Amino acid sequence: MTAVLMDGKALAAEITERLRAQVDRMKSDGVVPTLATVLVGDDPASRVYVSRKHRAAEAIGIGLRNYTLPENTAEGELTSLIESLNADGTVNGILLQLPLPSHLEQRRATEKIEPNKDVDGLTVTNAGRLVYGESDLIPCTPRGVMELLHHYSITVESAQVVIVNRSMLVGKPLHHLLLNEDATVTVCHSKSSDLSSLTRDADILITAVGRRPEFVVTADMVKEGAVVVDVAMNRVEGKLVGDVDFEGVSKKASYITPVPGGVGPMTVAMLMQNTLVATTKQKRALVSPVAQQ
């Protein structure tokens, strides 16, 4: 068996075309979707990620506001900026690039973002809506994983799904998204015992550890014919790789994502989609009966 490659780059390009057409329609109605990005410090990886998001926004026609703050920015300064962006009616989405410098509390900073402008879907309000299956601003990577599964017509209902990650960015939101589609979901983490026996039971295995070479998913950890989604990105000997031993696992899986070119491009595409969702939500709020009183 040779696995079908789940091409996130190609799917992201299709989504980009659809979003570009949606932006054109919005602009014809006098609405310019605008994303504000906030980067604190000079972390090289964060700079690269923000740059990719800027390029994606420009390709679609989304307006950009870029704020780069020094490493020693005080919490009050960051809070003041976020609150000013919340109040700015011309800004539709706010992206606070994580991680923040160690002296800043990420949770506290994220919670300052107005939920309807929270394009990362990380505020408590949007996380709670997700638990109830009512959120439309969903964390970008989990949303990208679900888009890939749907695009390749992979059956989620009644599937045994194992997620190796319990973070608020990936594992926990994915758990709820999959549960809402009637999968049976097991979430694994660093304290899970006999991890290999759990992963071998998975019809769909999703891994996002990012500690290679310490952690590698090998073929003996994967069920024959499983769908394998590799969210992690590691740089090993100058090469980008995920958690999965691609060469070995691709001979056993039915579907597999590459690294790079799998989930990564989908994450950026979903950020753009969330920006348009946020714009639409705000536009509706402006014309609601409550807003008109």
Which positions are catalytic? 53, 97, 120
Question: CA-CA distance, 174 to 187, in Å (whole number)?
Answer: 9
The DSSP string of 104-172 is S-HHHHHTTS-GGGBTT--SHHHHHHHHTT--SS--HHHHHHHHHHHHTT---TT-EEEEE---TTTHH
Interatomic CA distance for residues 284 and 128, integer angstroms:
22
**Tokens (6 digits) for 62:** 């989304």
CB atoms within 10 A of CB 51: 13
